[in-house]
C-alpha cells in the first residue's frame, strides 16, 4: 500500500520523544508526528497530549525518502478567531488607555486585486533589482573610499 499525501489512517503511538511521536501504521510502517503537528495550540510537552499505546487518527503530510510525516492537528477543526480581531494590549497584558488606536483609519473591506500583467510584473522586479543594486554599489563605494583615504596618509 502506497501512502499518499492526504491519506487519513488509524495508528497507535509507538514511542514518544521530546520532538514528536512515532506512530505505528498498517502494514508494519512507522511515521512521525512532529510536536508542532500534535494540536492547534502551542505544545510544550507532547506527553500532555499523547501516551504510548494510544490509538490516534493521523493524516499523511509528507512521504519522502522512506520518512512518513504525519499530522494530528490537521484533522481537527481550526479554532475560530474572535470577531473583533486583534486586541490592543500592552506587553503586560493590560489593555491600553483609550482602547483601539483612534488615529488609524478603519480598513475598507478587502477587494480582490486585479491580476497584474506581465509588463507590470517585470517593472516591479526591475525596480526591486535596481534599488538592491544601488544599495550594494553605494556600500561598496563607501568601503573602497574609506580604504583609499586611509592609504594616502
pLDDT digits (tens, 9 = 90+) for 18-31: 999 999 998 889 99
Dist CA 46 CA 38 (whole Å): 8
Q: Is 80 exceeded by the pLDDT of residue 5?
A: yes
Q: Is 60 exceeded by the pLDDT of residue 71?
A: yes
**CB of 36 within 8 A of CB of 70?**
no
Q: So what's the pLDDT on residue 136?
A: 83
Confidence of residue 104 (pLDDT cuts 50, 70, 90): low
Q: Does this model's pTM top 0.75?
A: no
Amino acid at each position: 500500500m502506497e501512502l499518499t499525501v492526504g491519506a487519513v489512517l488509524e495508528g497507535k503511538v509507538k514511542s514518544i520523544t521530546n520532538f514528536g511521536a512515532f506512530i505505528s501504521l498498517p502494514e508494519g510502517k512507522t511515521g512521525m508526528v512532529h510536536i508542532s503537528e500534535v494540536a492547534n495550540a502551542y505544545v510544550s510537552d507532547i506527553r500532555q497530549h499523547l501516551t504510548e499505546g494510544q490509538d490516534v487518527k493521523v493524516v499523511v503530510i509528507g512521504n519522502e525518502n522512506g520518512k512518513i510525516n504525519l499530522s494530528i492537528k490537521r484533522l481537527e477543526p481550526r479554532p475560530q478567531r474572535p470577531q473583533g480581531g486583534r486586541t490592543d494590549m500592552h506587553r503586560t497584558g493590560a489593555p491600553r488607555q483609550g482602547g483601539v488606536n483612534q488615529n488609524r483609519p478603519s480598513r475598507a473591506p478587502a477587494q480582490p486585486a486585479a491580476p497584474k500583467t506581465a509588463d507590470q510584473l517585470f517593472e516591479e522586479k526591475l525596480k526591486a533589482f535596481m534599488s538592491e543594486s544601488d544599495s550594494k554599489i553605494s556600500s561598496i563605494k563607501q568601503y573602497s573610499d574609506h580604504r583609499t583615504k586611509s592609504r594616502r596618509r
